[in-house]
Structure 1
Amino acid sequence: MKSLLIKLGIPVFTSMILISGCTKNFEEINTDPDALASVPANNMLINVLRNTAESFGGDVDGYGTFAGYIVKIQYMDFMSGLIPTNNTYGNRWYNCYYNNTQIKDMLASTENKAEAFKNVRTIGRIWQNYMWFLLTEGWRDVPYSEALKGLPEEGSVLLAKYDKQEDIYPAVMADLKKIADEMAAGIGTDEVGGSDIIYNGDMEMWKKFCNSLRLRMALRISAVSSSLAKSTIEEIAGNSSKYPLIESNDENCYVNFPGSLPYFEPWYNSGIYGKRIDNWGLSDIFIDHMLSTKDPRIGAVAQKTNDGTYKGYQNGAKSGPSVLRSVSWIGEKYMGDPAGFIPFYKSCETYYSLAEAAMLGYNVGITAKDAYEKAVNLSMQENGIGTADIQTYLSGAGKWNNTKERIWWDMWIALFKENYEAWSLYRRTGVPTTNYPSLNSVYGSAHNDQPWRAPYPNSEYQNNKLNVEAAAIKVKDFVWGEQMWWDKRTGKF
């Protein structure tokens, strides 16, 4: 034993000296001299904008099917994937909270020099509220007031309660108004530039997006909180210099992609580069409606079939078509451009919204007819439709008829590719009235409607079980049950 200890003594002693030396200089040795000590605020901004575009813009079916646009024609959709998972819908849940954590950290890191980072902080705060909006639109009740408060100095809240959508909406709208008022009082001097992949640091455009988002949210709750909706919309419409809106197609809130690897536009990346374009066809209700109304936008949103016509396919048919090209695929404008776009807000939405607000009796400074026709023109022009064809449509099936339904049907067409928003349009208005769930749904006849919400992710059931189960007590089959606060449709289950 003694000899063994003697034999071990030298190497052990030597190791102790080495370990001691390493420990003494551990931090210095393990610090990369070329690495940044903290992530620059502008880098964090570009990360969350890109992440949002890839996450929500990457959806082709899913919300596209819920909205009545797109159906699967190879691997048929029987709604079996509408369960708690950490993929697909769960990823989008995660990305919303991830993005807001990044923005929160960015705001904290620049708090002591807020004036020097005023513009990048303002954009971050607007996008933070947009993330909360996307969360409550998709899942209704979500962790909000206690979310992102896990640090000891913030309360060590590791299992956040779920807030009601009825409470989240007014809070988000109030914060957006606060930001809008601050921007009206003056913007910062910091250059955001290319870190803003939407508006290249143009703060006037961010003013417009902020107020346009307020307009969208206010109209959404017009049937359940009319006073807040009316006061918000009339405030915005009544003071366009203080609260400007997105009003032209060159102002659209789009993320445009570089168009080279690894930054292809998501639909192109999946459909063309990923060679999956033949996985999807246009829905029968979408194509049938556009054919019946002679809508010239059909050439932009859809490709012709192998026999030179436009034809849709049923959602959830037992099997796909024997010839995949016998169904219209997604149009080149929307899937065929590697440097394409992901839309978050289209200028036509402003005028569809003002048209509906005028129909509700709100004072918006424009008639419903004029606002509607302006919206149609903007949507048509964005899709490359000429003046003569626009006028033919507006004097035919697209003619103003003094109904909200005329607004909603045209808005549904116009929102193509902004699938998440189109899904909300359907849940709020019931348009398209021809929408239906998968014909061969695994739920059989238990539900007669498209999903009302996304399923809560499995991670919540694993890590926040009591709170998610309390929130889901009125949910049926994960995506039905309690409707959105603003969804007042009847006869759906």
Structure 2
Amino acid sequence: MNMNALIKKLKYTPILVALLVSGCTKNFEKINTDPDALHDVPPQNMLVNVMRYAGDQFGGDVDGYGTFAGYIVKIQYPEDLSGLTPSNNTYGNRWAACYYNITQMLDLLKKTEKNAEGYKNTRLIARIWNNYMWSYLLDGWGDVPYSEAFQGRPEDGSILKAKYDKQEDIFPAVLADLKSIADEMAGGIGTDEMGDYDVIYGKTNSGSADIKEQMLRWQKFCNSLRLRMAMRISSVAPALAKSTIEEIASDKNKYPVIETNAESCQMFFPGTLPYMEPWYESGIYGSRINNWGMFDIFINHLLETKDPRIAAIAQKNNAGKYIGFINGSKDNPSPATSISWIGLHYINDPAGAVPFFKACETYYILAEAALSGYNVGSLTAKDAYEKAVTLSMEDNNVAASDVANYLSGEGKFNNTKERVYWDMWVALFKENYEAWSLYRRTGIPNTNYPSKIQKFKEPHTDQPFRLPYPNNEYLYNAENVKAAAAGTVDYNWGKRLWWAKENGKE
């Protein structure tokens, strides 16, 4: 079964799951039961559903995180930041998507508990994905319901108003769970095959599913996610960050990581309606590509550093030049083609991919780790940096000669973290959420700025520090969410996340 057919078959899985757990009278259930409907959703179906849901929810961002990261600006309807409120479902839906996905995976684990060995691979993937969802929540909101989450049913504790745990407590817990998964996978995988139900790693380079290669890639994503999360907290929990990264780097056989672009964690789409890559569906199929322009700071940096990735990242304007645009201009560019739009490499493939972790990220992290004095084996900071750049360049179809010119020119390694951060910022394009996190953690790009047409009493001088807690939390868990939000200003500024850099902006 191909992915397109599989996803169509599973289109209404969330509705089915909701119906399965709802309480009704015995006679009502009997009368209203569809004899042709699924009475119990198979575990693999639940897994593909949450992956698809994540791809739709987290991959459709063009502006928003793309603007926060310093990449893309709105040009038809300029950003004024007024949408960053609890009632804006753009962000509330992503909060809900994370908790929905975790709920589904916990249900999967519960269903397969009696035959855990028979579903070993399915369960391992579910646990990895859950931790990725937690990392997403931590990077967007910081303090979130964790220890008391998913305990609303009477048999689970009847906790309807979960407390918010501190992010500094959740990070170690998530890293510990990822380590336990990594150790289990190092001891061997299961026999259950996922095939097309795994819409991320279900196909190897040969085009056919191979369970060993498939699970090896999940194992690599697990350890790469550990690297990312450890480096995220390196300035506030240095001992944990150092020990985690050194453990992984010292034993690549036990803890393999993503090393090639083919291994990158990304979800490809079938390419036909209703399952097109989100940027293509909105920008090309939906004819909205002229709604967005490239952020002036991004184009300026690419031009100043003579970065050959610019040809993939952006389009030339009507005069054959790369021109960026202001974030929050009162006037639209005239004509719209007088500025650079998003590059066709990233927006013009209906069967394109949503990236969750690019291979180059592994080596940028290791380069930074080496510069921090961590023991990352025989790999030097320069070697790791150049490997990262090369992977990113190849991912953008840059010729080898141009890569060499860049690495010997403006992109030459200079033994500083700033060089690593600047290049990593470029490389993370389209992985906008992670790029926004990089900016908040490192302050790079230090040229970044928020919209110039804000509608706040006191305009902010920085991009949002965090995301607004969703409106439903204020409606149904008000006491706990208000305590968690204490110290925030305009919902998104004021108190920074635990691991974020204080850059003097407000």
TM-score band w.r.t. shorter chain: over 0.9
**Residue of structure 1 in register with 2:132 after alignment:** 130
**Residue of structure 2 in register with 1:171 after alignment:** 173
**CA shift at 1:320, angstroms?**
1.2
Note the residue ranges of structure 1 that are not aligned, 5 or more in a row. Answer: 1-22
**CA shift at 1:446, angstroms?**
3.6
**CA shift at 1:112, angstroms?**
1.0
Q: Does 1:105 pair with 2:118?
A: no
**Residue of structure 2 in register with 1:250 after alignment:** 262
CA gap of 1:389–1:186, structure 2 versus 1, over 3 A, is same
**CA shift at 1:490, angstroms?**
3.4
| Distance in structure 2 (CA, Å) of the matches to 1:488 and 1:62 | 20
- SS of the counterpart of 2:145? coil
**Residue of structure 1 in register with 2:72 after alignment:** 70
**Residue of structure 1 in register with 2:120 after alignment:** 118
**Residue of structure 1 in register with 2:224 after alignment:** 212
Alignment of 1:77-476 (within 5 A): 77-200=79-202, 202-365=214-377, 366-443=379-456, 445-476=458-489
| Distance in structure 2 (CA, Å) of the matches to 1:382 and 1:142 | 35
Q: Which amino acid aligns with 2:136?
A: L
Judge conservation of contact 2:76–2:291 (CA < 8 Å) in 1: yes
**CA shift at 1:31, angstroms?**
2.9
**CA shift at 1:58, angstroms?**
0.6
CA gap of 1:291–1:84, structure 2 versus 1, over 3 A, is same
**CA shift at 1:35, angstroms?**
1.9
**CA shift at 1:484, angstroms?**
1.1
**CA shift at 1:86, angstroms?**
4.9
| Distance in structure 2 (CA, Å) of the matches to 1:177 and 1:190 | 22
- SS of the counterpart of 2:97? helix
Greater shift, 126-135 or 81-90, is seen at: 81-90
CA gap of 1:141–1:26, structure 2 versus 1, over 3 A, is closer
Q: Could you list the structure 1 runs, at least 4 aligned residues long, displaced by more than 4 angstroms after superposition.
A: 23-29
| Distance in structure 1 (CA, Å) of the matches to 2:38 and 2:457 | 55
How many corresponding residue pairs? 471
Once the two structures are superposed, what CA deviation does each residue of 1:22-52 show, in whole Å capped at 9, x if it has no partner?
x997654433222222101001000100111
Once the two structures are superposed, what CA deviation does each residue of 1:403-432 show, in whole Å capped at 9, x if it has no partner?
000000000000000000000000000000
Judge conservation of contact 1:74–1:319 (CA < 8 Å) in 2: no
| Distance in structure 1 (CA, Å) of the matches to 2:223 and 2:415 | 26
**CA shift at 1:445, angstroms?**
4.6
CA gap of 1:84–1:417, structure 2 versus 1, over 3 A, is same
**CA shift at 1:470, angstroms?**
0.6
TM-score, structure 2 normalization: 0.92
What percentage of residue pairs aligned between the two structures are identical? 66
Select 2:43's aligned residue among 38, 41, 44. 41
**CA shift at 1:270, angstroms?**
0.7
CA gap of 1:27–1:151, structure 2 versus 1, over 3 A, is closer
**CA shift at 1:124, angstroms?**
0.5
Query: For the pair shown, which has the larger CA radius of gyration, 1 or 2?
Result: 1
CA gap of 1:113–1:320, structure 2 versus 1, over 3 A, is same
**CA shift at 1:447, angstroms?**
1.8
CA gap of 1:166–1:32, structure 2 versus 1, over 3 A, is same
| Distance in structure 2 (CA, Å) of the matches to 1:297 and 1:436 | 23
- SS of the counterpart of 2:355? strand
- SS of the counterpart of 2:293? strand
| Distance in structure 1 (CA, Å) of the matches to 2:487 and 2:131 | 26
Note the residue ranges of structure 2 that are not aligned, 5 or more in a row. Answer: 1-24, 203-210
Judge conservation of contact 2:443–2:503 (CA < 8 Å) in 1: no
**Residue of structure 2 in register with 1:13 after alignment:** none
Q: CA RMSD in A?
A: 1.2
Judge conservation of contact 1:429–1:489 (CA < 8 Å) in 2: no
| Distance in structure 2 (CA, Å) of the matches to 1:214 and 1:270 | 33
CA gap of 1:25–1:62, structure 2 versus 1, over 3 A, is closer
**Residue of structure 1 in register with 2:52 after alignment:** 50
**CA shift at 1:444, angstroms?**
5.7
Q: Which amino acid aligns with 1:405?
A: E
**CA shift at 1:489, angstroms?**
2.0
**Residue of structure 2 in register with 1:15 after alignment:** none
